[in-house]
């Protein structure tokens, strides 16, 4: 079948080094995302009230892989070698939970809150080659469980509405994998491949839509693809004007705006010079909505 095509337009001219991890805060009508190597968390309100600043950012002081929302307000970060709590304005940044990570080998990368209010975040090998990474689960009491090890580049995460399956991307495998999950312990079993990608594109972040399809950002591929996880078919594509497409999230007042982060990282200087939109935030309108983001529950 021929994939349906959707354009993307520039949403925010923000030129991150490594824009990543968008998450929509439906209470504040604000999109959070990170610039991992720029060590910043960004917040952007697409339709701000008069007098309100639409775009803001705060420094984290270390590479920040993921930002997620808390049920009680405020944020949780997975940054470099640990988890942190912060208020929504970035104040009160403080370590949370106990996890032992060797920052010389790996750093925190993509992460999301699961349907039970726990924060799943993974690490990636600095050299992009060795299986030095893991996928961790931070619970509300600060305890940390290792769910997977021997991961190279831990990336996209998503849960379908059945709450019995977990979709996951370890980028160098060039696949989306599914696991059966134990809601109580978080344990992941029965790994299988649900979709495969060609060699020109590295699957990175992903989001699930309300029809149960996955939207997968393709690093180096200048596109996002919509995948049917039951058949592995690539059913739609969003084209971007820049190569390194890193992650996606549904947001906006009706949760049907698909926000897309991109990166400047790893582009040769001559390519970057001709590509002033690299690292900026884009939006597409694919005609489907996504679920509200889950929130972390402090115990």
Catalytic residue check, 204: yes
In the bound state with Ca ion, the residue whose beta carbon lies nearer, of 66 and 139, is: 66
Cα–Cα distances in angstroms (integers) from residue 81 to residues 16, 98, 234, 250, 298, in the given order: 21, 10, 35, 28, 20
- Per rule CB under 5 A, is residue 265 in the interface with Ca ion? no
CB of 253 to Ca ion, least distance (A): 26
74/103 with CB nearer Ca ion:
103
Is the Cβ–Cβ distance between 176 and 158 less than 8 Å?
A: no
Q: CA-to-CA distance for 36 and 174, rounded, in angstroms?
A: 22
**204 is a site residue for Ca ion (CB under 5 A):** yes
Stretch that binds Ca ion, among 3-11, 48-56, 114-122, 150-158 (CB under 5 A): 150-158
Candidates 11-19, 116-124, 202-210, 289-297; binding stretch for Ca ion (CB under 5 A): 202-210
203 backbone φψ class: left, alpha, beta (φ>0; ψ -120 to 50):
beta
Active-site residue, selected from the candidate residues 170, 204, 209, 257 = 204
Say whether residue 110 binds Ca ion (CB under 5 A). yes
Binder among 40, 155, 262, 264 for Ca ion (CB under 5 A): 155
CA pair distance 108, 20, nearest whole angstrom: 12
Stretch of 121-129, 155-163, 272-280, 284-292 lying at the interface with Ca ion (CB under 5 A): 155-163
Q: Give the pair of three-digit tokens for residue 278.
A: 């690299």
| Cα 66 from chain centroid (whole Å) | 7
Residue (25 or 265) nearer to Ca ion, CB: 265
Give the Å distances, CA to CA, from 79 to 102, 154, 241: 13, 14, 29
> Would you please indicate which residues are annotated as catalytic (active-site) residues?
204
User: Residue numbers of the site for Ca ion (CB under 5 A)?
Assistant: 110, 155, 204-205
């Amino acid at each position: 079948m021929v994939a349906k095509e959707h354009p993307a337009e520039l949403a925010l001219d923000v030129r991150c080094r490594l824009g990543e991890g968008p998450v929509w805060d439906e209470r504040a009508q604000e999109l959070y995302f990170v610039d991992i190597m720029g060590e910043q968390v960004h917040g952007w309100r697409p339709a701000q009230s008069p007098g309100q600043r639409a775009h803001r950012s705060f420094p984290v002081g270390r590479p920040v892989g993921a930002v997620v929302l808390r049920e009680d307000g405020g944020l949780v970060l997975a940054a470099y070698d640990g988890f942190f709590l912060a208020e929504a304005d970035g104040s009160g940044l403080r370590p949370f939970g106990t996890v032992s990570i060797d920052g010389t080998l790996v750093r925190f990368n993509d992460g999301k809150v699961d349907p039970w209010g726990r924060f799943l975040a993974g690490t990636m090998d600095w050299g992009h080659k060795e299986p030095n990474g893991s996928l961790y689960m931070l619970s509300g009491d600060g305890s940390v469980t290792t769910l997977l090890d021997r991961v190279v580049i831990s990336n996209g995460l998503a849960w379908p509405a059945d709450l019995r399956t977990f979709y996951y991307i370890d980028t160098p495998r060039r696949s989306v994998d599914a696991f059966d999950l134990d809601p109580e312990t978080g344990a992941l079993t029965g790994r299988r491949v649900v979709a495969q990608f060609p060699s020109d594109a590295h699957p990175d972040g992903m989001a699930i839509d309300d029809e149960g399809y996955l939207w997968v950002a393709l690093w180096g591929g200048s596109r996002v693809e919509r995948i049917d996880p039951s058949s592995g078919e690539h059913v739609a594509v969003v084209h971007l004007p820049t190569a390194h497409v890193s992650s996606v999230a549904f947001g906006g007042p009706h949760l049907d705006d698909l926000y897309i982060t991109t990166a400047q990282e790893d582009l040769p200087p001559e390519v970057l010079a001709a590509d002033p939109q690299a690292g900026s935030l884009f939006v597409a309108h694919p005609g489907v909505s996504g679920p509200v983001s889950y929130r972390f529950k402090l115990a």
